[in-house]
Structure 1
């Protein structure tokens, strides 16, 4: 049987628009309205999940999903950079940012490396092996990128080469450990699955 794992990136609230390392800030009214407008475009799923962040939980609610939080799908732990913008961190710690962007094993912020994120979320994906059906999960863009890197066996530095727009659907389908990718469909009438 084929398993479909459909990943929805959250609406672009203030933290995403500011390129801020996750500070668990809620969505603003405009972002929630964009998610509500996309609610009718969701594919059917037997399992509905959400990352534990406020942004993902609120996006799931605005989309009309009764989704349960899945701790294994939490965002990258940015350590002491949490709540800061990339611009602020680059000004204060330019060498640390350069190292982090160049080396998937690096975690100069004291949190989680890109490799560790891909391993953790990949472990969650691997735990679904042998299953069938459809899983729909609202997860942070970094988690989408990490899952794509893991599923396709890409080198970890490819993480930085993947863009995940807000309120887009990325699909992984497969069986016996072989995944196919369908990426970046916008939610809404034009991108409805």
Structure 2
């Protein structure tokens, strides 16, 4: 039996789910072969959450280009979600193109550690989970109730992770596509001796960059 107190962990299979959404029933297996950004918000019809949903909607084409789907969640009913989506369209002229999970039972929220007792016992905090195309949890970020997330940072992080996967490299702070990337450090003393002559942008044996 699955341990209900177990929190999700990086580089392990993401917690499975099947849930009712504004686009019909969705389950984790539906997203196999694509990346998924699963994000929770405290409640429908709240101002900070509204700005975040508008941000996600505007960035939707960028996520799509990166083979990534979006999936929202809050402890609200599908009817509330639908009314809120319609309200965003009416007041801000923005269509919300992705599904929103109804999680009245808080089953998905608990599986992903979205409920933080220090912040709220009945609302999901602003948590964001990056799940890769093999359903492995690759990154998770938590924000406080009072402050909205930066959606461009999520696009940047997703791009960086995919670039690392494809090229076997790491990316430095604030990396953007086109910037130099970090070459993995040598693993032996002999390789460290020869690193300076390998044609990289060399600073020290453990710190070298290159252009992709």
Structures share fold, TM-score greater than 0.5: no
Larger radius of gyration: 2
Q: TM-score, normalised by structure 2?
A: 0.25
Q: Which has the higher strand share?
A: 2
Q: Which has the higher contact order (CA 8 A, sep 6+)?
A: 1
Q: Which has the higher helix share?
A: 1
